[in-house]
Chain A
Amino acid sequence: MPLSEFTFGLGILDAIATSPGYRVVTNNFVYFLGGAWYTIFITALSIAMGMVLGLFAGLAKLSKNKIIYGLSTAYIDFFRGTPLFVQIFLLYFGVLPLIYDNDPLSSAIIALGLNSGAYIAEILRAGIQAIDKGQMEAARSLGMNERQAMIYVILPQAFKVVIPPLINEFIALLKDSSLVSAITVAELMHRGDLVFANTYQATWVFGTIAMMYLVITKTIALLGDYTERRLATE
Chain B
Amino acid sequence: MIKVVDVHKSFGKLHVLKGINFNVSPREVVCVIGPSGSGKSTLLRCINQLEQVNEGRIYIDGEELTHPKTDINAIRQQVGMVFQLFNLFPHKTTLQNITMAPIKIKGVDKEQAYEQARELLRKVGLMDKADVYPGNLSGGQKQRVAIARALAMQPKVMLFDEPTSALDPEMVGEVLAVMKDLATEGMTMVVVTHEMGFAREVGDRVVFMDEGLIVEEGLPAQIFDNPKNVRTQLFLSKVL
**A contact residues vs B (CB 8 Å cutoff):** 132, 134-135, 137-145, 148, 152-153, 156-157, 160, 231, 233-234
**B contact residues vs A (CB 8 Å cutoff):** 48, 50, 73-74, 76-77, 79-81, 83, 85, 87-91, 100-101, 104-105, 133-136, 146, 149-150, 153
28 contacts across the A-B interface (CB closer than 8 A): A135-B89, A140-B50, A140-B73, A140-B76, A141-B48, A141-B81, A141-B83, A141-B150, A142-B76, A142-B100, A142-B150, A142-B153, A143-B73, A143-B74, A143-B77, A143-B101, A143-B105, A143-B153, A144-B73, A144-B101, A148-B104, A152-B104, A153-B89, A156-B91, A233-B134, A233-B135, A234-B135, A234-B136
Q: Please count the residue pairs between chain A and chain B whose beta carbons lie under 8 angstroms apart in the complex.
A: 67
- Determine which of B50, B105, B153 lies in contact with A137 in the assembled complex, contact meaning CB atoms within 8 Å: B50
Chain B residue, CB-CB nearest to A158: B91
Name the A residues within 8 Å of B91 (CB-CB): 156-157, 160, 231, 233
Q: Contact check, A144 vs B48: say whether CB atoms are below 8 A apart.
A: no
Given the interface pairs A143-B153, A233-B135, the reply to whether A137 lies near B83 with Cβ below 8 Å is yes
Q: Contact check, B85 vs A134: say whether CB atoms are below 8 A apart.
A: yes
Q: Considering the chains assembled together, what is the distance between the CA atoms of A75 and B150 in angstroms?
A: 41
Q: Contact check, B104 vs A144: say whether CB atoms are below 8 A apart.
A: yes
Chain B residue, CB-CB nearest to A142: B101
Chain B residue, CB-CB nearest to A160: B91
Q: Contact check, B90 vs A157: say whether CB atoms are below 8 A apart.
A: yes
**Which 3 interchain pairs have the tightest Cβ spacing?**
A143-B77, A138-B87, A234-B135
Name the B residues within 8 Å of A157 (CB-CB): 89-91
Name the A residues within 8 Å of B81 (CB-CB): 138, 141
Q: Contact check, A138 vs B83: say whether CB atoms are below 8 A apart.
A: yes
Name the A residues within 8 Å of B101 (CB-CB): 142-144
Q: Considering the chains assembled together, what is the distance between the CA atoms of A84 and B237 in angstroms?
A: 69
Chain B residue, CB-CB nearest to A134: B87
Q: Considering the chains assembled together, what is the distance between the CA atoms of A144 and B85 in angstroms?
A: 19
Q: Contact check, A142 vs B105: say whether CB atoms are below 8 A apart.
A: yes
Name the B residues within 8 Å of A233 (CB-CB): 90-91, 133-135
Q: Contact check, A132 vs B73: say whether CB atoms are below 8 A apart.
A: no
The minimal Cβ–Cβ distance linking A9 to chain B, given in whole angstroms, is 55
Q: Contact check, B87 vs A152: say whether CB atoms are below 8 A apart.
A: no
Q: Considering the chains assembled together, what is the distance between the CA atoms of A145 and B85 in angstroms?
A: 21
Name the B residues within 8 Å of A132 (CB-CB): 87
Name the A residues within 8 Å of B77 (CB-CB): 142-143
18 extra interface residue pairs, beta carbon distance < 8 Å, beyond A137-B87, A138-B81, A152-B100:
A134-B87, A137-B50, A138-B83, A138-B87, A140-B50, A140-B73, A141-B50, A142-B150, A142-B153, A144-B101, A148-B105, A152-B104, A156-B91, A157-B89, A157-B91, A160-B91, A231-B91, A233-B90
Given the interface pairs A157-B91, A234-B136, the reply to whether A142 lies near B83 with Cβ below 8 Å is no
Q: Contact check, A145 vs B104: say whether CB atoms are below 8 A apart.
A: no
The minimal Cβ–Cβ distance linking A32 to chain B, given in whole angstroms, is 41
Name the A residues within 8 Å of B80 (CB-CB): 141
The minimal Cβ–Cβ distance linking A105 to chain B, given in whole angstroms, is 38
Q: Contact check, B136 vs A138: say whether CB atoms are below 8 A apart.
A: no
Q: Considering the chains assembled together, what is the distance between the CA atoms of A56 and B197 in angstroms?
A: 51
Q: Considering the chains assembled together, what is the distance between the CA atoms of A152 and B97 in angstroms?
A: 11
Given the interface pairs A140-B50, A143-B74, A233-B133, the reply to whether A134 lies near B83 with Cβ below 8 Å is yes
Q: Contact check, A144 vs B105: say whether CB atoms are below 8 A apart.
A: yes
Given the interface pairs A135-B89, A138-B87, A141-B50, the reply to whether A234 lies near B133 with Cβ below 8 Å is yes
